[in-house]
């Protein structure tokens, strides 16, 4: 659910409309919809955008912790008498938000923590090259895990662009995107609840920074099989928690552990936005399905759900 609304346009009233849309979807589609839902995200990167860093980076309107807590309560109450009763409630944000003690109330109000991680954007680090990406990812992952007091952490966004400008020592190209997929993606798929950013990027013209893994004809930009991958495993303990947030308006590099979903694969987000950088889209999560680990080939299963900022959660699994 989208929760970042200019105060003059009544944020509470907007969330009520989001809830109304959710209930209408439940009524219209029934179990064909509700059986796909594994969680509800109440907001996406709202806390980052309202932070000093988000304001400095001109990342747009956000929402404060107390507002997100209020919206979480509204949603829990609203779904209590629906088939989605008991659905895990979460919030998606950057790792720097989760290690910030001022957001503790949000953590306490959630069932799961949504973690967005982009080493590519950590241009203020001494080394954010693709060679250092795995270390940056897992450090922020572990820092998040340690900060949320045992709450389940879902990796709700991560990826590496195939085109775009350099960010520090990080370059956007197919070769580096392939390495990130192999090193990070192939370590996550089948082991963590993961939503990869993204299946297909903006249409019809490429954005300034393109994160899609397939082109307009759904042909992969690189090998998605994980056959030649040497995944970088999660560290047992965080090596350093000094990683600063990115110097751009995009989300900080983040990652977080989560409980493995039996027989799960992973999720891919697809968008038709005209902006190439990761945007702050909250949406109904699609249920993970399929085999434990990907192999060659791919298929796409679009889910019926709420659309936020023209983004669609797409369940993407390799045959």
- Predicted pLDDT at 207: 74
Q: Total structural domains in the chain?
A: 1
3-31: average pLDDT: 96
Asked if the structure places residue 30 within a domain, the reply is no
Its pTM stands at 0.76
270-289: average pLDDT: 34
List the domain range (segments joined by +) for residue 104: 91-317
Indicate the pLDDT class of residue 249, thresholds 50, 70 and 90.
very low
Pick the catalytic residue: 152, 157, 176, 267?
157
Asked if the structure places residue 219 within a domain, the reply is yes
Asked if the structure places residue 212 within a domain, the reply is yes
pLDDT mean across residues, the chain: 79
Residue keyed to tokens 């179990």: 31
The proportion of the chain whose per-residue pLDDT surpasses 90, expressed as a percent, equals 68
Q: Is 95 helix (H, G, I), strand (E, B) or coil?
A: helix
Token pair for 172:
């956007």
- Predicted pLDDT at 229: 87
**What are the tens digits of pLDDT across the range 50-75?**
999 999 999 999 999 999 999 999 99
Asked if the structure places residue 217 within a domain, the reply is yes
Active site residue 210: no
Asked if the structure places residue 10 within a domain, the reply is no
- Predicted pLDDT at 147: 97
Give the residue, 83 or 202, on which the prediction is more confident. 83
Asked if the structure places residue 240 within a domain, the reply is yes
Asked if the structure places residue 100 within a domain, the reply is yes
Active site residue 267: no
3-state SS track over 14-77? HHHHHHHHHHHHHHHHCHHHHCCEEEEEEEECHHHHHCHHHHHCCCCCCCCHHHHHHHHHHHHH
Asked if the structure places residue 80 within a domain, the reply is no
186-209 burial, b if ≥16 CB within 10 A, otherwise e?
bbbbbbbbbbbbbbbbbeeebbeb
- Predicted pLDDT at 268: 53
Indicate the pLDDT class of residue 235, thresholds 50, 70 and 90.
low
CB 166 within 8 Å of CB 216: no
**What are the tens digits of pLDDT across the range 123-159?**
989 999 999 999 999 999 999 999 999 999 999 999 9
Pick the catalytic residue: 45, 139, 210, 269?
45
- Predicted pLDDT at 264: 33
- Predicted pLDDT at 202: 80
- Predicted pLDDT at 192: 95
**What are the tens digits of pLDDT across the range 287-305?**
332 333 333 333 222 222 2
What is 135-178 written as a DSSP string? HHHHHHHHHHHHHTTT-EEEEEEE---SBS--BTTB--SHHHHH
Range of 186-200, 266-280, 285-299 with top mean pLDDT: 186-200
Is the model's pLDDT at 104 over the cut of 50? Answer: yes
């Amino acid at each position: 659910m989208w929760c970042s609304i200019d105060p003059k346009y009544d944020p509470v009233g907007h969330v009520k409309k989001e809830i109304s849309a959710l209930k209408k979807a439940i009524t219209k589609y029934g179990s064909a919809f509700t059986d796909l839902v594994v969680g509800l995200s109440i907001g996406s990167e709202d806390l980052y955008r309202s932070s000093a860093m988000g304001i400095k980076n001109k990342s747009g309107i956000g929402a404060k912790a107390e507002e997100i807590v209020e919206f979480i309560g509204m949603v829990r109450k609203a779904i209590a008498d629906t088939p989605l009763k008991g659905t895990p409630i979460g919030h998606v944000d950057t790792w720097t938000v989760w290690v910030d003690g001022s957001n503790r109330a949000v953590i306490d109000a959630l069932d799961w923590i949504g973690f967005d991680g982009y080493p590519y954007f950590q241009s203020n680090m001494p080394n954010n090259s693709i060679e250092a990406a795995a270390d940056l990812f897992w450090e922020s992952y572990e820092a998040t895990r340690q900060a949320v007091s045992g709450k389940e952490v879902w990796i709700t966004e991560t990826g590496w662009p195939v085109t775009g400008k350099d960010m520090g020592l990080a370059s956007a190209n197919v070769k580096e995107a392939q390495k990130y997929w192999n090193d990070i993606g192939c370590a996550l798929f089948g082991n963590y609840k993961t939503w990869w950013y993204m299946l297909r990027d903006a249409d019809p013209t490429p954005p300034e920074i393109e994160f899609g893994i397939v082109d307009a004809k759904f042909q992969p930009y690189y090998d998605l099989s994980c056959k030649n991958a040497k995944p970088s495993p999660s560290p047992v303990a965080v090596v350093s928690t000094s990683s600063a947030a990115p110097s751009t308006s995009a989300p900080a590099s983040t990652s977080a552990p989560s409980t493995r979903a039996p027989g799960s694969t992973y999720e891919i987000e697809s968008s038709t936005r005209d902006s190439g950088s990761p945007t702050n889209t909250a949406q109904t999560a699609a249920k993970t399905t399929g085999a434990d680990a990907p192999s060659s080939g791919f298929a796409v299963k679009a889910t019926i759900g709420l659309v936020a900022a023209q983004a669609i959660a797409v369940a993407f699994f390799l045959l």
